[in-house]
Structure 1
């Protein structure tokens, strides 16, 4: 059982320290699956899950067609559980190539054959998993953001520390000030793509020799009386050019339509806005017909891992813990699914821990269906990176239908960090003005995310050695075209003219925690840190 080792003595003094057998960072599909599996195997283990969202599921955004393979293993009886939100079976797949005015049906590739899968709200699935974990006596602490990794005298990980709460924007303690807590035990990092603690550990221990690459997904949920539950549509092509990787998803669920757009963050033009690409995309006839007459009720955004097989860390474990789920990067890119692989990786890590050999998690993962599945599609995304849209389509079709992932070669992964691919300038894109019916100004949609950060210091920090250049001299705008004005799907970064001198304003209160700025920012000038616990979006339907 956990022990409280020391108590808060004074403001800024030593943290309270609490010891557990296992500390899990992130109450997403991976974190909760690990917690449940640990308790299934040994009910006496003390397991703690910390979650930066205000409640479990508040920071979960996904265009989710749910593959139940891992859930079948974790909770075999889920189909008989009336409380389980996985209910809408996929009934039809459609795959389209878009031009500006027209659409052409394409054969649905095997990776997008969703027979046996379900349209879900992943936010609701995670809430349900949270209930299952609490029933197993897992301690879950929403609203507690793990802000740093704590190391022991030998340099290994001994736990994490949560951020101090009750500090105003000037850094002064308020009446409700509370010192952060140190949570010690074997640490399983399940923060999702580009988690701050995960990236710190990956860097410290050199776990990933190859670059991870990312895409940014922006999404809306619409309420409509004209849905066809179980209908699934994916598109490629317009509005992106042939050199920009991306595509769309649209899913019907009960009286809801989930619609979103994903843009690979290795795009080149600094004037490209993933948000505005999404807004004009919705006016295409093949999309608008699903939204007309409905009401947009929620908006969200998040980056996803796109590095695939080549970007899996060479070691998933480190002294004192392991990477699970999207912290490691198990998204199946052509399938556009990562929940099932994230959950399975978490279960394997839990099993390795209970067997007394966490280091065997690497071997177990590489012997599992997760590794087999990702290896089979390892060349899909690189074929687009090296050849563009049309050669990529030809190769991916050849791989899917003929080679079936058995080709004896493996293309290299990402050649450059996503921030390095942005050109200093590019063609201007004339985005149409949102009409307020199918498309919306960014701030209108931002209100639908439920984002909230109370009075607190900015969690988006300009690195000290770049402050003068970035804040004082607008270096990114002058030298790189200021792409942060366009790639951020929450309007966090803007340049204002002060006496005819442009200056950068960081509206950190708008941040929906998509992590795009930690990936695409010129000069890597932003240090993305967690805000005080509970800050950020509040999703319920995504």
Structure 2
């Protein structure tokens, strides 16, 4: 008999990001409008709402305008509308402005806002709680629960106070079961429970594999004379050569700029380090000019869905649904996903409310994918579905041209008569002896920095005496296979210095996992060439504590 306490709800939502909170708000709005009682719970593994949220961010308000039309009156995001929009093509020492006239109209940032997505989620949480939603930060959903017929019954939170050796510490507390008529999974990109759901219900059977980028971000307080609120800059080109990605620099409120770098995880060279590419990018004259005289105040990293429309899996299964980035609703060329996440949460909420009102439960919410297919989310994502795979196939220059032609054709109502396919990112690495080593410059401590000092600024913390949440299917693979074949790329693709190979000089190499450094970006789970690393959730409340990322 389980020692866990169980709590019943109408709807349980895993993840307090834009999708999860919007779903919760919409459910309560519908219940209030129809005079019904509806119990809704949101679980958040971060120490508080927003603690694990990281995005650029330039936000298209389309979803917010539908969910909460009065949002501009009280939400801090409204402080900084986008006023300038630039796209730079970088060489090692120069920049070239890409003419906006060559871009399809839907690529324009007119009417968008730049600010902290974490703070937007904090504001959404306040609105949700005002409607009666119960939000539990610091509680990580660790297990999917099932009914006897195989439908999803809910989730269980992880046990607290378990030592690394599996024994119970004096402060041990068993997890909590949350049972629901419907459970929404809004875990973000590469959610660990979403992975299980895809496997169990074969949700990926009729779509392309999801592919990803790794986004690294810093916040800087800059010289007020250089600050231009609402100025948005995107870059492509240098310093990447055989990899695809680019940088961003957004002038936000309070004298700050948010800047970052995205590297597509389809890269081939196992010697590449996304973190060091980011640090190198900051030394470009056009970027360094903005940062000189400023101070770095925060750092973080997170995986980003880049598969597009063709990688969206089946969205529903008996008893639940995938929403937001758990499903992959990111518009890759626009570098935006919060508006589509919000809309997906709303549509799932509407389907669930109708089902509950009809006294159904634990069935498939077929109305949700049907509504999404008819929505502006599908229309928007279908227009850009060839962008990422075209660039992955043809490279930055030719791929951008092919993608641009396809977007313009779709703007005019036609488009290429086919959709490009994807290959999983972990299959793309070449052998270490087939690729050149990359000599990254040492950080200067002024513009560029090392990984450990960066992790310090992410406020990352884990209880050290707990089971390591970065699990290996085979402990011999990192040294026995990945090291000789790929020079163990985990040493470089991790943006937090979690993985190390020590003892090589002594002829006794050992693979070390510094799990306490993990910023929950999920890159290791995605890029490990043998798929030997499986990211599972640590104790609730652990990980980064981003203040306003």
Aligned ranges 1:14-33 → 2 under 5 Å: 14-33=3-22
Measure how far apart 1:474 and its partner are: 3.9
Which among 200, 220, 243 is matched to residue 204 of structure 1? 200
Q: Partner of 1:123 in structure 2?
A: 118
**Contact 1:162/1:181 (CA < 8 Å) preserved in 2?**
yes
Measure how far apart 1:394 and its partner are: 1.2
Separation of aligned partners in 2, 1:101 and 1:474: 42
Q: Partner of 2:354 in structure 1?
A: 355
Range moving further from structure 2, 356-365 or 143-152: 356-365
Separation of aligned partners in 2, 1:77 and 1:41: 17
TM-score (norm: length of structure 2):
0.93
Query: Do residues 518 (structure 1) and 521 (structure 2) align?
Result: no
Which among 437, 446, 452 is matched to residue 446 of structure 2? 437
Cα 1:76–1:453 shift into 2, 3 Å? same
**Contact 1:56/1:142 (CA < 8 Å) preserved in 2?**
yes
Secondary structure of 1:251's aligned partner: strand
Separation of aligned partners in 2, 1:401 and 1:527: 40
TM-score (norm: length of structure 1):
0.94
User: What are the Cα deviations for residues 123-149 of structure 1, in whole angstroms up to 9, with x where unaligned?
Assistant: 100000011111011000000000111
**Contact 1:419/1:521 (CA < 8 Å) preserved in 2?**
yes
**Contact 2:409/2:415 (CA < 8 Å) preserved in 1?**
no
Measure how far apart 1:417 and its partner are: 1.4
Query: Do residues 67 (structure 1) and 50 (structure 2) align?
Result: no
Aligned ranges 1:245-284 → 2 under 5 Å: 245-254=244-253, 255-284=255-284
Secondary structure of 1:467's aligned partner: coil
Separation of aligned partners in 2, 1:511 and 1:248: 23
Separation of aligned partners in 1, 2:97 and 2:406: 20
**Contact 1:85/1:128 (CA < 8 Å) preserved in 2?**
no
**Contact 1:309/1:374 (CA < 8 Å) preserved in 2?**
yes
Which among 23, 26, 32 is matched to residue 34 of structure 1? 23
Query: Do residues 457 (structure 1) and 456 (structure 2) align?
Result: no
**Contact 1:311/1:413 (CA < 8 Å) preserved in 2?**
no
**Contact 1:63/1:260 (CA < 8 Å) preserved in 2?**
yes
**Contact 2:407/2:415 (CA < 8 Å) preserved in 1?**
no
Q: Partner of 1:295 in structure 2?
A: 295
Q: Unpaired segments of 5 or more residues in structure 2?
A: 356-363
**Contact 1:383/1:395 (CA < 8 Å) preserved in 2?**
yes
Query: Do residues 94 (structure 1) and 92 (structure 2) align?
Result: no
* RMSD over aligned Cα atoms: 1.3
Measure how far apart 1:17 and its partner are: 1.0
Separation of aligned partners in 2, 1:476 and 1:98: 34
Secondary structure of 1:490's aligned partner: coil
Measure how far apart 1:27 and its partner are: 0.3
Separation of aligned partners in 2, 1:240 and 1:231: 24
Secondary structure of 1:304's aligned partner: strand
Separation of aligned partners in 1, 2:141 and 2:417: 40
Query: Do residues 486 (structure 1) and 492 (structure 2) align?
Result: yes
**Contact 2:59/2:338 (CA < 8 Å) preserved in 1?**
yes
Separation of aligned partners in 2, 1:540 and 1:113: 29
Separation of aligned partners in 2, 1:46 and 1:409: 46
Q: Partner of 1:387 in structure 2?
A: 394
Q: Partner of 1:236 in structure 2?
A: 236
Query: Do residues 468 (structure 1) and 467 (structure 2) align?
Result: no
Q: Partner of 1:6 in structure 2?
A: none
Separation of aligned partners in 2, 1:502 and 1:448: 30
Measure how far apart 1:19 and its partner are: 0.8
**Contact 2:383/2:410 (CA < 8 Å) preserved in 1?**
no
Separation of aligned partners in 1, 2:524 and 2:418: 30
Separation of aligned partners in 2, 1:389 and 1:303: 20
Measure how far apart 1:337 and its partner are: 0.2
Separation of aligned partners in 2, 1:482 and 1:135: 49
Secondary structure of 2:538's aligned partner: coil
Q: Partner of 1:3 in structure 2?
A: none
Q: Unpaired segments of 5 or more residues in structure 1?
A: 1-8
User: What are the Cα deviations for residues 399-427 of structure 1, in whole angstroms up to 9, with x where unaligned?
Assistant: 3334426315232321x211110111121
Which among 42, 56, 62 is matched to residue 49 of structure 1? 42
Measure how far apart 1:199 and its partner are: 1.0
